[in-house]
Structure 1
Amino acid sequence: MKHLARALRPPLAAALLSAAALTGCSGSASDAPAVSLDDPAKKRIALQLVSSAENSSLDWEAQYPYIEDIGDGRGYTAGIIGFCSGTGDMTAVVERYAKARPGNPLERFLPALRAVEGSDAHTGLGPPFARAWARAANDPAFRAAQDAERDAGYFDPAVRQAKKDGLGALGQFVYYDAYVMHGAQDAEGTLGFRTIRRQALAAARTPAGGGDERRYLDAFLDARVAAMVQEPAHADTSRVETAQRVFVREGKFQLETPLRWRVYGDGYRIDEG
């Protein structure tokens, strides 16, 4: 389960959530040749889009050393997609790193990481752990461990499910971003990706099921927003309403560039993919 590095910023004004984000002609796909999000160029775009929401920067590769507690009840948030000490994926990153680089400075914190899972505690971690995490980011093996956990736990399952649902690169990204923030499963007080998808399916059919891609993605984003506002740390829904919803409205089902969007009121653009 993931969360925002800037999640506690005030929600956007209601004016940003304009009805225009929900309008536009119907359609199920663009005329561009289908391409998957695991295409290297599209994946790079996906990583930049997530970084704009998680770290307020398109430079996702600068986020390997990032670590802080943002006060959302999940302990430390760290790395390229906000691995959390309270949810277990941070532990998985350090375990991967220990296998690749036995005896590394983070390995000694594994017992403490396992002990704090399910809580926001820093017991046995604290500033020494935060410093060790940031220093480890200079090691290619640690960066590779973050990449591997991101792909195995979030990117790959999201893309796989989206392909089964007949979604293009945009829909695959929509699923991936939901995985990053919500995780696959429900947790205490939060809804996971699978529940959000199930709610979307109650409102619209997937393209693979004979439905309209635009209509289904809007239904999924509606369910996603409803899940987000249940958590104070996710009350700002701009990563959906002024980003993903914009791409749906524009019919960019293959994440065709240029892309322009806003998160927390900040503007971003990608001109080439």
Structure 2
Amino acid sequence: MKYRTWALVGLGWALVGCGEAGARGGSEEESLAPRGLAACSYTVTTNTYDGPDYWGTLVFKNTGASAMTSPTISFGVPSGVTCDYDEPGWTHTQTGTTCVYSRTSGLTVAPNASYTFYYSTNSNASWTASNVTITDPGCGGTTPEPVPGLTVNQKKVAEALTSIWENDTPTLDYAYSENIDDGRGYTNGRAGFCTGTGDAIQVVQCYVNLRSAGNGNLLAKYMPGLTTINNRFLSTGQSQASTAELDVVGNWVADWAASYNNTTTRADFKACQDQVSDALYYAPAMAEARKWGLATALSRMALYDAYINHGESGAKSMIRAANTAVGNSGQVAPVVGYNGITETAWLQKFLEKRRDVLAADSTWIDAIDRVAAYEKLRRLGNWDLSSAVRNDVRARDCWSTQYPISGYTVRNINPDGTWSTPGTYTFACQ
């Protein structure tokens, strides 16, 4: 059961990502005006930590149109590991398992250029840095606060739960591609990137930067058609349903799937989907959570899912509505702690506002049970996601209205992100 997503943030192109048109509700705040750059466009080509040498290496390529002038690098390390060395020109801070390195002097990384960053820690075990994020004033990003978003395992749980709503399985479906006739062209991959809304083109451009057509990139040949569609989208501000420019070139659906299913190209293709998804949904959601003082993994996970489902504009509209509902009509940030407002009270109102947005649309009311899962976790108090997450709940179990049943398969997601399908369960909201 594939559920559509949409977004209103950009990474090199302005976009109105895939999906849920009805969830916008036509409000002024949720207009379809294209937005500009929201984060750096880059590809991490090397990510290693050599335990015996206490030495980490990150190599990233600037795939954007503008030069980076003073990049900030943020990444996660295993629990108990401390970042302990600054290369010349760099300084770092650490909060929990997140290390943030900032420049003490200017550094230019030109478009299409790569930069090698070295760091050290107190760990003699080998591992890979997680959640690598690069921001820079030159590409519209902002320096991240030294505050973690979700831990590695919490993010696995969050993405597995969202994947149930997107593909009815906790396993991220990188190979998925289909025209679901929603007026946005082909819907693709782990986050529903669409050919007619400016986000699928970002995945393909990232992939082209890593791998040429001569080196097995089956999607490179579609870039001219994607660009034509994207230019039409940008000039009109309207999602583009036509796939004619792609269909004349080849079998888009088959080539998208093959790009992931081929073990030779899989790593590059997966990395690009992960990078674009993080830039469009995860990083903005975590920044918004920090702004409003949402400190728990559950609140951040709920906001992350809302960004994927409703896009930046839709998520922010619901945040404003929740703020007003808890007595913060002036939109004072942070909201948690303001006039005694608690995080659980705020999350309750946010989920209710999101429920109402979905319920107001005749098509997308069928996806309303996805909101109930977060409400159940709130009532259970599973704030740090340390207990297993199970979507054995429907909106009608949490609220008195007899909402339609979405029909998602019930799954059990463990705190480390592994999952199973339970043999028995009872629908309930607590």
Q: Distance in 2 between matches of 1:95 and 1:265?
A: 33
Structure with greater proportional helix content? 1
Tell me if structure 2 keeps the 8 A contact 1:174–1:244: yes
Any unmatched runs of 5+ in structure 1? 8-33, 186-191
Secondary structure of 1:75's counterpart equals coil
Indicate the residue corresponding to 1:203 in structure 2. 325
Q: Render the CA deviation track for 1:28-68: whole Å, top value 9, x for unaligned.
A: xxxxxx995531111111110111110000112xx111011
Q: Which moved more, 1:45-54 or 1:161-170?
A: 161-170
Q: Which moved more, 1:198-207 or 1:74-83?
A: 198-207
Please tell me whether residue 41 in structure 1 is matched to residue 153 in structure 2. yes
Indicate the residue corresponding to 1:17 in structure 2. none
Tell me if structure 2 keeps the 8 A contact 1:74–1:84: yes
Cα deviation for residue 238 of structure 1 reads 0.5
Tell me if structure 2 keeps the 8 A contact 1:200–1:223: yes
Indicate the residue corresponding to 1:154 in structure 2. 281
Q: Distance in 1 between matches of 2:218 and 2:414?
A: 40
Tell me if structure 2 keeps the 8 A contact 1:162–1:175: yes
Q: Distance in 1 between matches of 2:149 and 2:164?
A: 17
**Match of 2:179, as an amino acid?**
D
Counterpart among 247, 255, 272 of residue 132 in structure 1: 255
Indicate the residue corresponding to 1:264 in structure 2. 407
Secondary structure of 2:303's counterpart equals helix
Matches within 5 A, 1:25-174: 36-60=148-172, 63-103=173-213, 104-116=217-229, 117=233, 118-126=239-247, 128-137=251-260, 138=262, 139=265, 140-167=267-294, 168-174=296-302
Please tell me whether residue 218 in structure 1 is matched to residue 348 in structure 2. yes
Tell me if structure 2 keeps the 8 A contact 1:106–1:132: yes
| Higher relative contact order (CA closer than 8 Å, sequence separation 6+) | 1
Secondary structure of 1:74's counterpart equals coil
Q: Which moved more, 1:74-83 or 1:140-149?
A: 74-83
Q: Distance in 1 between matches of 2:196 and 2:362?
A: 17
Seq. identity, %:
32
- Count of residue pairs brought into register by the alignment: 237
Secondary structure of 2:410's counterpart equals strand
Q: Render the CA deviation track for 1:52-107: whole Å, top value 9, x for unaligned.
A: 110000112xx111011222222211111111122211111111111111332212
Secondary structure of 1:221's counterpart equals helix
Secondary structure of 1:184's counterpart equals helix
Indicate the residue corresponding to 1:15 in structure 2. none
Tell me if structure 2 keeps the 8 A contact 1:88–1:114: no
TM-score by length of structure 1 reads 0.79
**Match of 1:272, as an amino acid?**
P
Secondary structure of 1:202's counterpart equals helix
Q: Distance in 2 between matches of 1:228 and 1:212?
A: 25
**Match of 1:125, as an amino acid?**
L
Cα deviation for residue 212 of structure 1 reads 1.3
**Match of 2:192, as an amino acid?**
G
Structure 1 residues 228 and 73 mapped into 2: Cα distance closer, same or farther (>3 Å)? farther
Structure with greater proportional strand content? 2
Q: Render the CA deviation track for 1:101-140: whole Å, top value 9, x for unaligned.
A: 1332212212322333422221222361111111111321
TM-score by length of structure 2 reads 0.51
Q: Distance in 1 between matches of 2:241 and 2:202?
A: 17
Matches within 5 A, 1:175-214: 175-185=303-313, 192-204=314-326, 205=328, 206-209=335-338, 210-214=340-344
Tell me if structure 2 keeps the 8 A contact 1:165–1:208: no
Q: Which moved more, 1:71-80 or 1:44-53?
A: 71-80
